Amino acid sequence: MTVLQNCIKKISKDNCIWLMRQAGRYLPEFREIRSKNQDFIKLCLNENLSSEITIQPLRRFNIDAAIIFSDILLVPYALGQSVKFKKDFGPLLGEIDFNKMSKINEIEFIDKLKPVYNAIKKTKDQTELKNKDLIGFVGAPWTILVYMLNQRSPKNDDIELNLKDKKFIEDLLKVIVKFLKIHINNQIESGATIIQIFDSWAGLLNKKDYDKYIYNPTKDLVNFVKSKKIPVICFPKGVNDYKSYVSLVKPDVISIDYDVDPKKISDSIDITVQGGLDPKFLVGDKEELKTNVKKYLDIFKDKPYIFNLGHGVLPNTDPSMVDYLVKFVKNYS
């Protein structure tokens, strides 16, 4: 049993750690690859480079899991919606041709994403991953819906969502859930030992809409992952009621964002908790970082806890700070 799996199953006293976006933009070895591969979607679909990028942080740091280098927007891409990444802007998606999309079959979808599954197969046999987990992931149905409809990231309130066409939204959501399950299943069959569901834009919704767009469709995915006998982590960033989320969606692990009071989470939630640290502390000084890391480790000292961030590692992070963080967490008692 791996260190991370023991943390999830509440049978480990060892501190465990991995970081969201641990593979990527802050590492010089990644930037070297990226400079030669300008098309981000093509890079994600390069099974050799994707596997190499996934392993890079494990060569540097004593972390307990790899997370496959990929992107949640590969699902809309495989469903026929164009996806491009514009420098210093983010993703740009094309128009939805639902008639065409609704005719895509499982074989076509899998074929488009086969490099992702091949990358997982390549990665799981790497020596750096011995006795460690390989995390696969998907975007939650709501977050995928937001990107597909908005056609860009809704950060900075750059959002134009029209949820009034209820029939279209319901039909699109069904397609999204169907193919997210297919994507999850193929990641597991290729060697992923844990699945994380990223609901990056859960915070955009009013609580009255949680059942329809967050709780019910995400629970459908969670139940699917559980049926495969592997753990599932949910990260509903910005959701304002983690307790209700946990009781209704029932993930194995709840990953919290940096705006959440960790003490309140510790007092109200009885499943394994992950994350919380604001990634900005990794671009500050070591004393400030240590103080804030210690806060999380102390609050969750007697609870099952996976150390992680409340969002991804920032691009301007010095790898030496990540090294300091990992060593501090591993040695803290």
Using the predicted structure, report yes or no on whether residue 33 has a pLDDT greater than 80. yes
pLDDT recorded at residue 13: 76
Catalytic residue among 21, 64, 117, 210: 21
Give the CATH number, domain containing residue 51. 3.20.20.210
pLDDT recorded at residue 206: 87
70 CB contacts (<8 Å, ≥6 apart)?
44, 50, 116, 119, 137
Determine whether 71 is an active site residue: yes
Number of separate domains in the chain: 1
Using the predicted structure, report yes or no on whether residue 73 has a pLDDT greater than 60. yes
pLDDT recorded at residue 11: 77
Domain of residue 117 covers 3-331
Catalytic residue among 34, 60, 152, 171: 34
In the structure, what pLDDT confidence band is assigned to residue 99 with cuts at 50, 70 and 90?
very high
pLDDT recorded at residue 162: 65
Average pLDDT, the chain: 94
Determine whether 59 is an active site residue: no
Mean of pLDDT values over 33-55: 97
Using the predicted structure, report yes or no on whether residue 188 has a pLDDT greater than 70. yes
> Rounded distance, CA 110 to CA 226, Å?
21
Evaluate whether 322 touches 61 at the Cβ level (below 8 Å): yes
Task: Quote the tokens at residue 312.
Answer: 């991804």
Mean of pLDDT values over 213-217: 97
Catalytic residue among 26, 77, 117, 147: 147
Determine whether 25 is an active site residue: yes
Q: Side chain identity at 253, as an amino acid letter?
A: V
pLDDT recorded at residue 269: 95
Give the tens place of pLDDT for each residue, 237-267. 999 899 999 999 999 999 999 999 999 999 9
pLDDT recorded at residue 93: 95
Give the tens place of pLDDT for each residue, 121-169. 999 999 999 999 999 999 999 999 999 999 888 875 556 666 677 889 9
Evaluate whether 67 touches 129 at the Cβ level (below 8 Å): no
> Rounded distance, CA 46 to CA 39, Å?
11
Catalytic residue among 26, 64, 71, 252: 71
**Please, what sign has the CA dihedral across residues 65, 71, 223, 104?**
negative
Rg for the chain, CA atoms, rounded? 19
**Please, what sign has the CA dihedral across residues 252, 208, 312, 143?**
positive
Evaluate whether 310 touches 256 at the Cβ level (below 8 Å): yes
Determine whether 324 is an active site residue: no
Task: Quote the tokens at residue 120.
Answer: 């997982």
Of 224 and 156, which is predicted with more confidence? 224
> Rounded distance, CA 14 to CA 16, Å?
6
Using the predicted structure, report yes or no on whether residue 10 has a pLDDT greater than 90. no
Evaluate whether 293 touches 325 at the Cβ level (below 8 Å): yes
Q: Side chain identity at 254, as an amino acid letter?
A: I
